[in-house]
Amino acid sequence: MLTISLVWGMLVVKSRNWVRFFLSTLVVGMISTSIVGFALKWNEYKEFFISFNIQEVLSILLWLIGVGMIFSVISQMGYFAYLTVHRFGLGLFKKLWNPVQVVLIAFVFFDLVYFRYQAFGKEQGESVFLYILVPLVVLLFSLIIGSFKCKATNIKAFIPAVFFMFVVTTIEWVPALRANEEDWLYLMLVPLLVCNAYQLLILPKFTANK
C-alpha cells in the first residue's frame, strides 16, 4: 500500500507539472502574439489608444490572444513530436544522429530560401537577399538558444536544440509560409520561436520531481 501511495503521489506531481508547463507555454504564446500583433499594425491601432477606444483595443487584444493560444498549441505539438522523433533517431542512427540533424538543418535552410524565392520572389524580380535574411536570423536565434541549452545541460544538447529551434519551427511555420503574407509571416514566426525556446529551456524544471 505504501509503494502504491508513493507511485500515485509521483504521478500526481508529474501530471500537475505537465499542466503547469502547458498553461505557462500557453500564456507565453498569448503574450508574445499580442505584443507582435500590436507592433506589426501599430500605425492602424495607435488611433484606438490615442482616442481611448477601450472596446476596440480589447476586441483586438482578445483576437490576438486567441491566435496566440493556437500558435502555442502548435508549438507544443511540434515540441512533443520532436521528442518522439529524437528518441527514434537516437535508436536508428545512434552516434550518427547528430550529423544527420546537421544535414537536415542545412537542407531545410536551403529549401526555405530557394523554394520560397522560386515561388514568390523570382517572378516579381525581388532580391534573393530578402529571402535569405529571415532564415538566417532564425538560424542565428536557434544557435543562441542552442548555446543556452548547452550551458543548462551539456554540449551534446547543442545540435538537437538547434535542430528543434530551426527545423521544427520551420515546419510549424508552413501555414504562414504558404500564405506568404508579410504580417502573418512575422505574427506566426515570432511567437513560435519564443514558445519553442521557452519549452526547450524550461521543461527540465517542470519535469523534475518536486
In 3D space, the residue among 129, 103, 107 whose CA is nearest the CA of residue 117 turns out to be 129
What is the spatial distance between Cα 114 and Cα 121, in angstroms, rounded to a whole number?
Answer: 10
Residue boundaries of the structural domains of the chain: 2-207
What is the spatial distance between Cα 24 and Cα 173, in angstroms, rounded to a whole number?
Answer: 21
pLDDT per position in the chain (210 positions), as tens? 433 333 333 334 477 778 888 899 999 999 999 999 999 988 888 887 788 888 888 999 999 999 999 999 999 999 999 989 989 998 888 889 999 999 999 999 999 998 888 888 777 777 788 889 999 999 999 999 999 999 888 888 899 999 999 999 999 999 998 888 888 999 999 999 999 999 999 887 776 655
Q: 10 Å Cβ neighbour count for 206?
A: 18
> What is the pLDDT at residue 146?
94
